[in-house]
């Protein structure tokens, strides 16, 4: 139950990403796509580069190791490079390259002339080779805008400030809707609100069906609270994926939009790009992204746009996030073993988020003092925030001063107490189930055995002949029951 | 070394960012040799290898390949960095990254190149052109002899190690150099976090080893002054030390100091030696020693193309993946011979000053380095004793690779084996790696 120790401020984004990668939303989305979708994506070199980087290191280096060979990737070669025994089962090797198979970088294994190999996806191979040599022709890294020399460009700081303001505006709106505290928040545009509704981060409590929400009267959901506690990169990818699935629901092609996300992620902060030349097929999506602060446009209808740090950090992993100065500004929390919290911040959003689970006692211009107590933490948990989320929020915002004490970063007492409060609430575990009721004892027992064999059984009550099974196995089990029933009947 | 039951779940989920320091030998004479290589001996029993022709490779061609390799290094992880040094005749220079005060406004980004790649590539190109111009000017100013200096490997290595020390000032490695007890400090745990960057040095050697140079410059050895052991490190003094294009003659002490510094800082020195066996029958043994001592990868190109693939296959995996789970190519047997301080000869048997540990090829009554006097009577005894010493044979065999067929490493190994056998046969099968060169 004790959290793993965080040894250094710089190290914790990556150590927390072991359990929960910031691109989890993206991965889940890509896992459900088909071959043709990837063929479409891999036309862009930027996508190939970013997909390569998202693979686990061993798989990534296998791909790079073999990139310039004209042969297909043979299993014997993989085995020897990985120092595996020649007789290692093919399934084991297949499992190692599984991430690449999932991204359709290589095709499933083929057996020919006594040789087992994975053929390359030529689109990816070509794309990655072009990305490394710079010989591509898809303009996927962004066509720079022809700026006249006398025009003054916004500085990098301006862009960061702009992006920060736009995105935090949305987050603030979400928090304020839940707490009823009013800081003067501009309401985001209707498209943004609509997306927040579709994604389930906010709902209109007066609208029971969920079909005709009053966008101006929405409040935050428990999912929304969880979203607030995520780190920035996770939030960005989640929003983008909600946007993408919303597009798909409208049966629009999303591959071009997704490839635009990757292109934006490979762009340079402070450089201006031409929208019509860079993304001729995704202009409307680019306009939508402006509302979230991903890009900055000097005037709404100009062709020129600047990616902000939100966009350029999309594909930069943890590196850019930890390097940038705002990462240090995010480390403002000191937590003492007596549950007292000192937060050196004047950011309204952060204070509002803290207010979710901390009893705030004192406020100074740059310091907030509060206490973690049972009442507030449990009210936060009522809203759907879990103990783990609070812990990861606390540790990712811990002040550099806290790293000076020996690890673990958060004192075990507090971590344990948070888990205990969580347990108090979670005495019951909810699971979906399907209940079957039987009249024949024989049929009941047969079905019970069958369900046990397939790990579908949740609970059986033999006195009343009730059987509770996993919902996804319902079809299979009912088929079995019908078949068995027929057999039993014909037996008589 | 591989665990008996390989479990892919034990593979690391993330690797720390890694910094690759490349030292590129751009000595003009060496590259002119590489651009017109002699034909390779045929290998009838290895038809696949035999089919590949000897490939001439010029510096521009190779730099293109190197750029792709460096791009691949940058591509393989966020936060990876590249540092490039050029080592030309007698001088070394930082090519990339540009010094922070002299960052020229980046040219317009190209729409089809990832911006960091573009920066790297253009800067290396500019840097190499600048160095070439400097060389040109030196020759025009009459310093034609400067071309005869060996490439300034030592200078480049020193700069690279300083660079490493500067980026990671508080690592346990450098702390250990200052204070060996520092690792016991609990705060030292902070340096082992996953974000501590890994550094490694890749030396790309284009200059042939000693055999070529010895035949051409043995006469000059006589004129070499005594005792200026590491005076050649930067190669600024032109006379007396020039002329021996041999690899590490004067810089031997400097090189070894670099190697031990790198060993202590746990920075492996990988070596890619470009001159194929047809140009250079003996490997550059001191670079090979450097790779061996720092647990780097040493590999000699066979002169038959495929360099881009070799670079990716051998030198790309980061340190944390290098020995587990990935395999490293089997390393050729290493000759552990040293160079004497008096004539810069490579020795099998040497005489070491008991005070300052300098190495000499013959017993001396007065140490040339520390001026310690030794009893003159002991010299004949030492000489007679030395005749009894059997030179330690360089092992001819390389441990067999774990996989019998189909792997690149295997082919490579076969070649090495063959090369070794040839060598020992030339030497009359005496079991020694090479005969001692006597001027």
Which CATH number does the domain housing residue A129 bear? 1.10.10.10
Nearest CA in chain A to B69: A132
Asked whether residue B3 carries a pLDDT value surpassing 80, the answer given is no
More confident residue, A35 or B396: A35
A364 touches B at CB < 8 Å? no
Of A14, A130, A135, the CB nearest to B195: A14
What's B102's domain CATH number?
3.40.50.410
Same domain membership, residue B364 and residue B220: no
Could you give the count of Cα atoms lying within 13 Å of A195 in the half-sphere of its Cβ?
Answer: 20
B278-299 confidence digits (pLDDT tens): 777 677 888 888 898 998 999 8
Distance from CA of A134 to the nearest CA of B (A): 5
Beta strand pairing call for A340-343 and A219-220 = unpaired
List, in order, residues 6 or more apart from A338 with CB less than 8 Å away. Answer: none
Same domain membership, residue B273 and residue B130: yes
Asked whether residue B35 carries a pLDDT value surpassing 70, the answer given is yes
Rounded Cα distance between B102 and B124, Å, is 14
Same domain membership, residue B288 and residue B383: no
- Please tell me the predicted confidence (pLDDT) of residue A209: 67
Would A115 be classed as within a structural domain? yes
Same domain membership, residue B377 and residue B301: no
Same domain membership, residue B299 and residue B355: no
Range from B44-58, B163-177, B314-328 that averages highest in pLDDT: B314-328
Of B17, B76, B190, the CB nearest to A319: B17
Same domain membership, residue A195 and residue A310: yes
Q: Measuring CA to CA, how many Å separate A133 from each of A126, A221, B67, B239, B435?
A: 10, 47, 8, 44, 45
Would B204 be classed as within a structural domain? yes
A420: nearest Cα among A383, A377, A359? A377
In the stretch 429-448 of chain A, residues with CB closer than 8 A to chain B read: none
Same domain membership, residue B123 and residue B233: yes
In the stretch 297-326 of chain B, residues with CB closer than 8 A to chain A read: 308-309, 312-313, 316-318, 320-321, 324-326
A330-372 confidence digits (pLDDT tens): 788 898 889 999 999 888 888 888 888 899 999 998 899 999 9
Chain A residue numbers with beta carbons less than 8 Å from the beta carbon of B63 are: none
Same domain membership, residue A456 and residue A406: no
- Please tell me the predicted confidence (pLDDT) of residue B191: 37
Q: For chain A, first and last CA: distance in Å?
A: 57
Q: What is the secondary structure of B56-107 as a DSSP string?
A: ---HHHHHHHHHHHHHHHHHHSTT-EEEEEEEEBTEEEEEESPPGGG-PPPP
Nearest CA in chain B to A137: B112
B105 touches A at CB < 8 Å? no
Rounded Cα distance between B14 and A365, Å, is 40
Q: What domain count does chain B have? A: 2
| Mean pLDDT, rounded, for B30-42 | 82
| Mean pLDDT, rounded, for A51-62 | 89
Cβ atoms of A324 and A309 within 8 Å: the answer is: yes
- Please tell me the predicted confidence (pLDDT) of residue B186: 36
Mutant choice from B1, B3, B8, B15 vs A, greatest count of A C-beta within 10 A: B8
Would B344 be classed as within a structural domain? no
Would B73 be classed as within a structural domain? yes
Cβ atoms of B38 and B101 within 8 Å: the answer is: no
Would A14 be classed as within a structural domain? no
Would A126 be classed as within a structural domain? yes
Same domain membership, residue A313 and residue A182: yes
Identify the band that residue B184 occupies on the pLDDT scale cut at 50, 70 and 90. Answer: very low
Tell me the percentage of chain B whose pLDDT exceeds 90. Answer: 12
| Mean pLDDT, rounded, for B268-285 | 82
List, in order, residues 6 or more apart from A436 with CB less than 8 Å away. Answer: A447, A466, A467, A468, A469, A477, A481
Same domain membership, residue A438 and residue A299: no
A275: nearest Cα among A412, A144, A457, A439? A144
Same domain membership, residue A161 and residue A64: no
Same domain membership, residue A230 and residue A89: no
Same domain membership, residue A173 and residue A66: no
- Please tell me the predicted confidence (pLDDT) of residue B287: 87
Would A471 be classed as within a structural domain? yes
List, in order, residues 6 or more apart from B228 with CB less than 8 Å away. Answer: B240, B241, B250
Same domain membership, residue A345 and residue A221: no
Mutant choice from B75, B186, B318, B413 vs A, greatest count of A C-beta within 10 A: B75
In the three-class reduction of DSSP (H, G, I as helix; E, B as strand; rest coil), residue B299 is classed as: strand
Contacts made by residues A427-435, CB under 8 angstroms, sequence distance 24+:
A431/A458, A432/A471, A433/A458, A433/A459, A433/A468, A433/A469, A433/A470, A433/A471, A434/A468, A434/A469, A434/A470, A434/A471, A434/A474, A434/A477, A435/A466, A435/A467, A435/A468
Identify the band that residue B392 occupies on the pLDDT scale cut at 50, 70 and 90. Answer: low
Distance from CA of A186 to the nearest CA of B (A): 36
- Please tell me the predicted confidence (pLDDT) of residue B241: 34
Rounded Cα distance between A234 and A49, Å, is 20
- Residue A76 to residue B407, Cβ atoms within 8 A: yes
Identify the band that residue B231 occupies on the pLDDT scale cut at 50, 70 and 90. Answer: very low
Would B279 be classed as within a structural domain? yes
- Please tell me the predicted confidence (pLDDT) of residue A183: 55
A384 touches B at CB < 8 Å? no
Residue with tokens 């317009």: B108
Encoded tokens for B99: 């010094």
Q: How many CB pairs under 8 A join A and B?
A: 176
Count the Cβ atoms, other than its own, within 10 Å of residue A403.
20
Same domain membership, residue B363 and residue B326: no
Name the least confident of A208-222, B49-63, B268-282, B306-320.
Answer: A208-222
In the 8-state DSSP scheme, what is residue A4? P
- Residue A141 to residue B114, Cβ atoms within 8 A: yes
Angle value at C-alpha A334, between A332 and A337, nearest 5 degrees = 165
- Please tell me the predicted confidence (pLDDT) of residue A492: 56
- Please tell me the predicted confidence (pLDDT) of residue B157: 92
Q: For all residues of chain A together, what is the average pLDDT? A: 82
The answer, yes or no, to whether the previous bond of B325 is cis (omega within 30 of 0) is yes
| Mean pLDDT, rounded, for B99-126 | 78
Same domain membership, residue A210 and residue A66: no
Write out the H or E segment, with its range, that includes residue B280.
Answer: none
Where does a domain end: A401, A425, A449?
A425
In the three-class reduction of DSSP (H, G, I as helix; E, B as strand; rest coil), residue B25 is classed as: strand
Same domain membership, residue B300 and residue B263: yes
- Residue B117 to residue A132, Cβ atoms within 8 A: yes
Distance from CA of A182 to the nearest CA of B (A): 40
Helix B252-264 to helix B285-293 angle, to the nearest 10 degrees?
A: 20
Would A38 be classed as within a structural domain? no
Of A10, A266, A268, the CB nearest to B193: A10
Asked whether residue B42 carries a pLDDT value surpassing 80, the answer given is no
What's A442's domain CATH number?
3.30.70.2610
Same domain membership, residue B247 and residue B371: no
Where does a domain end: A262, A296, A320?
A320
Write out the H or E segment, with its range, that includes residue A459.
Answer: strand A457-461
A418-434 confidence digits (pLDDT tens): 998 888 876 777 788 88
Would B91 be classed as within a structural domain? yes
Would B30 be classed as within a structural domain? yes
Cβ atoms of A120 and A248 within 8 Å: the answer is: no
Chain B residue numbers with beta carbons less than 8 Å from the beta carbon of A92 are: 6, 8
Q: What domain count does chain A have? A: 4
Would A11 be classed as within a structural domain? no
Cβ atoms of B373 and B366 within 8 Å: the answer is: yes
- Please tell me the predicted confidence (pLDDT) of residue B16: 84
Distance from CA of A100 to the nearest CA of B (A): 14
Where does a domain end: A289, A320, A351?
A320
A399 touches B at CB < 8 Å? no
Of A8, A53, A266, the CB nearest to B77: A53
B3 touches A at CB < 8 Å? no
- Please tell me the predicted confidence (pLDDT) of residue B7: 58
Same domain membership, residue A281 and residue A236: yes
| Mean pLDDT, rounded, for A95-115 | 88
Count the Cβ atoms, other than its own, within 10 Å of residue A61.
25
Q: For chain B, first and last CA: distance in Å?
A: 44
Chain A residue numbers with beta carbons less than 8 Å from the beta carbon of B192 are: 7
| Mean pLDDT, rounded, for A259-275 | 87
Would A402 be classed as within a structural domain? yes
Distance from CA of A488 to the nearest CA of B (A): 47
Name the least confident of A149-163, A302-316, B199-213, B220-234.
Answer: B220-234
- Residue A58 to residue B325, Cβ atoms within 8 A: yes
Exposed/middle/buried for B5, CB within 10 Å: 0-12, 13-18, 19+? exposed
- Residue A268 to residue B109, Cβ atoms within 8 A: yes
Domain of A471 in residue numbering reads as 434-491
Count the Cβ atoms, other than its own, within 10 Å of residue B231.
17
Name the least confident of A98-102, A217-221, B76-80, B169-173.
Answer: B169-173
Query: Distance of alpha carbon A470 from its chain centroid, rounded?
Result: 27
Q: Per-residue b/e over B310-340, b at no fewer than 16 CB within 10 Å?
A: bbbbbbbbbbebbebbbbbbbbbbbbebbbb
Asked whether residue B24 carries a pLDDT value surpassing 90, the answer given is yes
Domain of B368 in residue numbering reads as 349-388
Encoded tokens for A24: 């989890």
Mutant choice from B76, B195, B310 vs A, greatest count of A C-beta within 10 A: B195
B125 touches A at CB < 8 Å? no
Same domain membership, residue A213 and residue A276: yes
More confident residue, B231 or A285: A285
Same domain membership, residue B357 and residue B322: no
Name the least confident of A39-43, B93-97, B407-411.
Answer: B407-411
In the stretch 190-209 of chain B, residues with CB closer than 8 A to chain A read: 190, 192-195
Cβ atoms of A98 and A27 within 8 Å: the answer is: no
B63 touches A at CB < 8 Å? no
- Please tell me the predicted confidence (pLDDT) of residue A216: 73
Would B40 be classed as within a structural domain? yes
R_g over Cα of chain B: 23
- Please tell me the predicted confidence (pLDDT) of residue B433: 36
Identify the band that residue B223 occupies on the pLDDT scale cut at 50, 70 and 90. Answer: very low
| Mean pLDDT, rounded, for B374-389 | 86
Would B187 be classed as within a structural domain? no
Q: How much is the pTM?
A: 0.76
- Please tell me the predicted confidence (pLDDT) of residue B210: 54
- Please tell me the predicted confidence (pLDDT) of residue A326: 53
Same domain membership, residue B364 and residue B240: no
Mutant choice from A68, A90, A98 vs B, greatest count of B C-beta within 10 A: A68
B399 touches A at CB < 8 Å? no
Same domain membership, residue A103 and residue A54: yes
Same domain membership, residue B380 and residue B240: no
List, in order, residues 6 or more apart from B29 with CB less than 8 Å away. Answer: B89, B147, B148, B207, B245
In the stretch 233-292 of chain B, residues with CB closer than 8 A to chain A read: none
- ipTM score of the complex? 0.75
Asked whether residue B226 carries a pLDDT value surpassing 50, the answer given is no
Distance from CA of B211 to the nearest CA of A (A): 34
Mutant choice from A132, A322, A400 vs B, greatest count of B C-beta within 10 A: A132
């Amino acid at each position: 139950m004790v959290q793993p120790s965080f040894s250094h401020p710089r190290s914790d984004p990556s150590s927390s990403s072991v359990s929960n990668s910031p691109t989890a939303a993206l991965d889940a989305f890509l896992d459900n796509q088909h071959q043709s979708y990837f063929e479409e994506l891999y036309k862009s070199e930027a996508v190939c580069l970013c997909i390569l980087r998202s693979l686990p290191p061993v798989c990534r280096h296998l791909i790079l190791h073999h990139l310039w060979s004209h042969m297909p990737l043979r299993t014997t070669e993989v085995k020897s490079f990985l120092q595996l025994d020649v007789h290692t089962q093919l399934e084991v090797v297949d499992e190692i390259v599984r991430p690449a198979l999932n991204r359709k970088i290589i095709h499933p294994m083929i057996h020919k002339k006594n040789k087992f190999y994975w053929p390359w996806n030529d689109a990816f191979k070509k794309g990655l080779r072009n990305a490394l040599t710079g010989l591509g022709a898809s303009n996927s890294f962004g066509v720079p805008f022809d700026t006249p020399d006398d025009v003054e460009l916004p500085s990098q700081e301006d862009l960061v400030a702009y992006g920060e303001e736009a995105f935090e505006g949305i987050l603030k709106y979400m928090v304020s809707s839940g707490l009823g505290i009013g800081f003067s928040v501009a309401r985001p545009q209707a498209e943004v609100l609509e997306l927040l509704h579709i994604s389930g981060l906010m709902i209109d409590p007066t609208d029971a069906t969920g079909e005709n929400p009053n966008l101006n009267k929405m409040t935050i959901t428990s999912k929304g609270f969880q979203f607030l506690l995520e780190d920035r990169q996770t939030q960005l990818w989640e929003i983008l994926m909600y946007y993408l699935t919303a597009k798909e629901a409208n049966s629009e092609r999303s591959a071009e939009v997704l490839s635009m996300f990757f292109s934006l992620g490979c762009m340079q902060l402070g450089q201006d790009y031409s929208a019509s030349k860079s993304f001729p097929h995704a202009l409307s999506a680019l306009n939508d992204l402006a509302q979230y602060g991903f890009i900055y446009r000097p005037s709404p209808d100009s062709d020129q746009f600047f990616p902000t740090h939100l966009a350029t950090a999309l594909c930069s992993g943890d590196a850019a996030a930890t390097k940038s100065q705002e990462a240090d500004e995010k480390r403002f929390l000191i937590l003492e073993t007596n549950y007292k919290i000192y937060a050196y911040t004047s950011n309204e959003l952060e204070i509002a988020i803290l207010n979710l689970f901390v009893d705030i006692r004192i406020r100074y211009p740059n310091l907030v003092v509060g206490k973690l107590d049972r009442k507030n933490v449990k009210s936060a948990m009522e809203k759907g925030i879990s103990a783990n989320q609070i812990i990861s929020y606390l540790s990712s915002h811990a002040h550099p001063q806290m790293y000076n004490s020996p690890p673990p970063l958060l004192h075990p007492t507090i971590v344990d107490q948070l888990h205990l409060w969580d347990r108090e609430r979670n005495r019951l575990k909810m699971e979906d189930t399907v209940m079957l009721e039987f009249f024949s004892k024989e049929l009941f027992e047969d079905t019970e055995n069958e369900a046990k064999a397939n790990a579908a059984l949740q609970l059986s009550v033999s006195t009343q002949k009730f059987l509770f099974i996993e919902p996804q196995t319902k079809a299979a089990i009912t088929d079995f029951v019908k078949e068995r029933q027929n057999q039993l009947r014909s037996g008589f | 070394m591989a665990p008996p039951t390989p479990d892919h779940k034990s593979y690391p989920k993330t690797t720390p960012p890694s910094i690759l320091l490349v030292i590129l030998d751009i000595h003009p004479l060496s590259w002119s040799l590489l651009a017109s290589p002699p034909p390779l001996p045929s290998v009838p029993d290895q038809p696949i290898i035999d089919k590949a022709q000897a490939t001439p490779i010029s510096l521009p061609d190779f730099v293109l390949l190197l750029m792709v390799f460096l791009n691949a290094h940058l591509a393989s992880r966020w936060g990876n960095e590249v540092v490039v040094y050029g080592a030309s005749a007698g001088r070394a220079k930082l090519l990339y990254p540009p010094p922070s005060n002299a960052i020229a406004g980046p040219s317009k980004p190209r729409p089809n190149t990832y911006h960091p790649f573009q920066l790297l590539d253009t800067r290396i190109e500019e840097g190499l052109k600048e160095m070439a111009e400097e060389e040109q000017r030196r020759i025009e100013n009459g310093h034609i002899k400067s071309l005869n200096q060996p490439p300034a490997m030592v200078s480049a290595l020193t700069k690279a190690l300083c660079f490493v020390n500067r980026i990671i000032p508080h690592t346990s490695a450098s702390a250990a150099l200052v204070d060996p007890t520092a690792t016991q400090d609990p705060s030292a745990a902070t340096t082992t976090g996953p974000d501590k960057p890994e550094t490694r040095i890749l030396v790309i050697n284009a200059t042939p080893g000693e055999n070529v140079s010895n035949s051409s410059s043995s006469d000059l050895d006589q004129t070499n002054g005594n005792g200026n052991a590491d005076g050649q490190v930067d190669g600024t003094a032109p006379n007396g030390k020039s002329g021996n294009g041999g690899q590490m003659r004067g810089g031997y002490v400097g090189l070894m100091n670099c190697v031990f510094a790198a060993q202590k800082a746990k920075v492996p020195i990988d070596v890619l030696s470009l001159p194929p066996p047809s140009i250079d029958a003996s490997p550059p043994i001191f670079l090979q020693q450097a790779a061996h001592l720092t647990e780097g990868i040493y590999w000699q190109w066979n002169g038959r193309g495929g360099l881009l693939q070799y670079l990716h296959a051998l030198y790309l995996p980061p340190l944390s993946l290098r020995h587990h789970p990935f395999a490293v190519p089997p390393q050729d047997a290493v000759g552990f011979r040293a160079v004497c301080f008096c004539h810069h000869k490579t020795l099998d048997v040497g005489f070491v000053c008991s005070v300052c540990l300098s190495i000499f090829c013959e017993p001396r009554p007065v140490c040339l380095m520390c001026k310690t006097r030794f009893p003159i009577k002991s010299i004949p005894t030492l000489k007679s004793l030395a005749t009894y010493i059997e030179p330690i044979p360089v092992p001819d065999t390389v441990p067999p690779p774990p996989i019998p067929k189909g792997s690149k490493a295997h082919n490579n190994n076969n070649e090495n084996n063959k090369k070794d056998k040839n060598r020992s046969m030339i030497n009359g099968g005496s079991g020694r790696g090479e005969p001692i060169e006597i001027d």
